Amino acid sequence: MLPKLSRYTLILLAIVIMSVYVPRLYHKVFDKKTGKTQLFFSPVIKKFVFREMVGEGHQFVTRDETGKDYDRQTFETLMPFIYYKNMDLWGKLPLHIDEHVFDKETMKKNRQVFELKPHMIADRSPRIQVFPLLESQPGRTRLRFPEDAFRMTDRMEFINVDTNTVNEDLTRQFTDVLERAGFEFPAQLVAGRVSILKPFDEGFFMVDAKGAVYHVKRAKGQPIVVKTPIPPDLDVRYIKVAENKKREIYGMLLTGDGGLYLISYDNYRLIKLPLENYNPNTMDFKLLINPLCRTAVYSDDHTIYAVAMDTRYRPIAQYQRVMFSGRRTLTDRIYEAIFPFYIKTTDKTSSYLRFDVIRNGPPALIGIAFSLLFAIVVMYKRKLGQRKHWPDLAIIMFTGLYGLIGVAIVRPEP
């Protein structure tokens, strides 16, 4: 009994390991990397245009939503605010569009990009909850990191990074100002851009225990705390701060129901983006801003969506398409037939380890049937009793190719 138990334990272990690594090997050998589609809204022709790789050897297509193809230079002239440097090089500036005139400097100053990927969201990526609060008025041309960092417990606690000791005076100073502003500890979310490679510092946005959103900065060593008018019942999930010299938008705010907003400098007014089918857990999001329009582009591994908006963020056009990289190929169909399931341990949409069993559905019955038939034929030729080895056949019935390899490698004792 014990040898049999040991054998089936080893077979089970082999199946688990194979279901993690064999599908990866299959994808690495047979999948062709095509990359995601680049999709834009052209303010020149008022249509969506895209560029995507459609084969090996960097074979690209560049066309608009109607199917019209363009060469690369013409394609770039359709997005003058993105390729403004090339436009200048080609002598196509100043640019005249809709009775507006734009020179190189104007185009450079009035373009902005916001980006949000699933792994950036706080609850999808581990982070040590200690943050440096930069001096927003440093009195010099560049920002620099302070000698202390803070963490949010039952107070705003500052720790000297050299001595690893709590700075009680600074802690009391900031905590008192927060409490006077109505902040309820502990904080649910602390969000800011931790970098000195930015034009200025806007500090941190914090969500308190009751859902209220506060804006906290350090100016000339003193705390500045603003209780924003953002509704506490909005269920804020994440805030991404993005300092920009235009000083129009603090950043983006994501809610628990998947709503995405911009936080404006106009008394923290929220601007809801009109996004249909947007799933923050699986989709990469990008917002392209230029003087004439705003374009939100978001996609998963299959479909790409876009909505063009005017300067007041009212939708003027929408478009979606299945990307070339998202189309099912013969390689995909064979994969689904060969492997009945696979174990997913990593995901580009999250920085956490996973252990998810993903089934490939009805096509996997083909692979299971062939694996069973192969095992039965081998048993017949070797004159092995099928009744005696029915547990092996049962394993293959549920695990397909993995089980076939497992029972073949881990053989019973003679």
Distance, in Å, from the CA atom of 22 to the CA atom of 41, rounded to the nearest integer, reads 41
Among 86, 109, 132, where does a domain finish?
A: 109
- The whole-number pLDDT of residue 135 equals 93
Span 95-99, average pLDDT: 87
| E strand or H helix that includes residue 189 | strand 189-192
- The whole-number pLDDT of residue 309 equals 96
Same domain, 213 and 84: no
Q: Which of 262, 294, 251, 258 is nearest to 277 (CA)?
A: 258
- The whole-number pLDDT of residue 248 equals 93
Residue type for 90, please? W
Span 87-110, average pLDDT: 88
Spatial CB neighbours of 89, under 8 Å, sequence gap ≥ 6:
none
Name the region of 407 (left: φ>0; alpha: ψ -120 to 50; beta: rest). alpha
Span 78-104, average pLDDT: 90
CA atoms within 13 A of residue 295's CA, in its CB half-sphere: 27
Among 289, 308, 341, where does a domain finish?
A: 289
Tell me whether residue 52 is in a domain. Answer: yes
- Cis-peptide into 232, omega within 30 deg: no
Residue 125 φ/ψ, nearest 5 degrees: -150, 125
Residue 2 in this model has a pLDDT that exceeds 60: no
Tell me whether residue 282 is in a domain. Answer: yes
Residue 58: pLDDT band with limits 50, 70, 90: low
Residue 353: pLDDT band with limits 50, 70, 90: confident
- The whole-number pLDDT of residue 56 equals 59
Residue 236 in this model has a pLDDT that exceeds 60: yes
Q: Which of 255, 258, 264, 300 is nearest to 112 (CA)?
A: 264
Spatial CB neighbours of 306, under 8 Å, sequence gap ≥ 6:
39, 40, 41, 48, 295, 296, 297, 298, 318, 319, 320
Cα-Cα-Cα-Cα dihedral sign, residues 335, 337, 339, 342: positive
Residue 379: pLDDT band with limits 50, 70, 90: confident
Residue 121 in this model has a pLDDT that exceeds 50: yes
Ranked by mean pLDDT, the top range of 269-278, 316-325, 371-380 is 269-278
Same domain, 272 and 135: yes
Distance, in Å, from the CA atom of 121 to the CA atom of 281, rounded to the nearest integer, reads 8
Among 289, 312, 343, where does a domain finish?
A: 289
Span 274-290, average pLDDT: 95
Tell me whether residue 312 is in a domain. Answer: no
Residue 229 in this model has a pLDDT that exceeds 50: yes
Enclosing domain of residue 14: 2-32+331-409
- The whole-number pLDDT of residue 413 equals 63
Same domain, 361 and 403: yes
Cα-Cα-Cα-Cα dihedral sign, residues 166, 172, 173, 177: positive
| E strand or H helix that includes residue 88 | helix 84-89
Span 250-267, average pLDDT: 96
Same domain, 59 and 180: no
Tell me whether residue 256 is in a domain. Answer: yes
- The whole-number pLDDT of residue 386 equals 62
Same domain, 140 and 273: yes
Same domain, 100 and 165: no
Distance, in Å, from the CA atom of 255 to the CA atom of 261, rounded to the nearest integer, reads 8
Tell me whether residue 311 is in a domain. Answer: no
Q: Which of 78, 82, 114, 77 is nearest to 246 (CA)?
A: 114
Distance, in Å, from the CA atom of 243 to the CA atom of 52, rounded to the nearest integer, reads 31
Q: What is the mean pLDDT of the chain?
A: 90
Summarize the chain as % helix, strand, coil (round to 5). Answer: 30, 30, 40
Distance, in Å, from the CA atom of 242 to the CA atom of 251, rounded to the nearest integer, reads 5
Same domain, 71 and 119: no
CA atoms within 13 A of residue 128's CA, in its CB half-sphere: 6
Residue-wise pLDDT tens digits, 20-49: 999 999 888 887 766 678 999 999 999 999
Residues 163 and 144 sit within 8 Å (Cβ to Cβ):
no
Same domain, 245 and 123: yes
Tell me whether residue 396 is in a domain. Answer: yes
Tell me whether residue 326 is in a domain. Answer: no
Span 121-149, average pLDDT: 90
Same domain, 231 and 337: no
Same domain, 206 and 68: no
Same domain, 195 and 274: yes
Domains identified in the chain, total number: 3
Residue 57 in this model has a pLDDT that exceeds 60: no
Span 327-347, average pLDDT: 87
Residue 1 in this model has a pLDDT that exceeds 60: no
Tell me whether residue 222 is in a domain. Answer: yes
Same domain, 16 and 64: no
- The whole-number pLDDT of residue 79 equals 92
State the DSSP code for 37.
P
The two structure tokens encoding residue 248 = 């129009």
Residues 321 and 50 sit within 8 Å (Cβ to Cβ):
yes
